């Protein structure tokens, strides 16, 4: 199964990497992003149905949610593809 990131999700990952690089050693942000994406692949499994997000707006959009180090990842399994639509800090998601 493959993992795809929509433009908004990809932009968020770039922003996180830039922030991590600004407070740590250059390259630390890329390490974090690689770890993040590898974690996504542990959820990209065929024939698995994930519960919808607890957030009503995301649930109405038909999105499922998982968390990673305080970040909420909103996604759909579409055929043989896990499509990530949104990555948002869990503490600001209501």
pLDDT tens-place string over residues 2-43: 999 999 999 999 999 999 999 998 889 999 999 999 999 999
Rounded Cα–Cα distance for residues 46 and 81 (Å): 9
pLDDT of residue 94: 63
Q: Is the pTM of this model over 0.95?
A: no
Strands 2-5, 71-78: parallel, antiparallel or unpaired by DSSP?
unpaired
Closest CA to 37 of 84, 78, 79: 84
pLDDT tens-place string over residues 57-81: 999 999 999 999 999 999 999 989 9
Residue appearing with tokens 């180090």? 69
pLDDT of residue 90: 87
Backbone dihedral angles phi then psi of residue 59, each to the nearest 5 degrees: -65, -40
């Amino acid at each position: 199964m493959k993992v795809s990131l929509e433009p908004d999700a990809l932009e968020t990952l770039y922003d996180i990497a830039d922030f991590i690089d600004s407070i740590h050693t250059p390259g630390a942000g890329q390490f974090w992003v690689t770890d993040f994406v590898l974690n996504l692949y542990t959820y990209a499994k065929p024939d698995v149905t994930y519960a919808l997000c607890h957030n009503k707006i995301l649930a109405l959009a038909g999105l499922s949610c998982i968390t990673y180090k305080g970040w909420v990842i909103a996604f759909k399994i579409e055929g043989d593809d896990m499509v990530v639509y949104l990555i948002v800090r869990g503490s600001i998601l209501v």
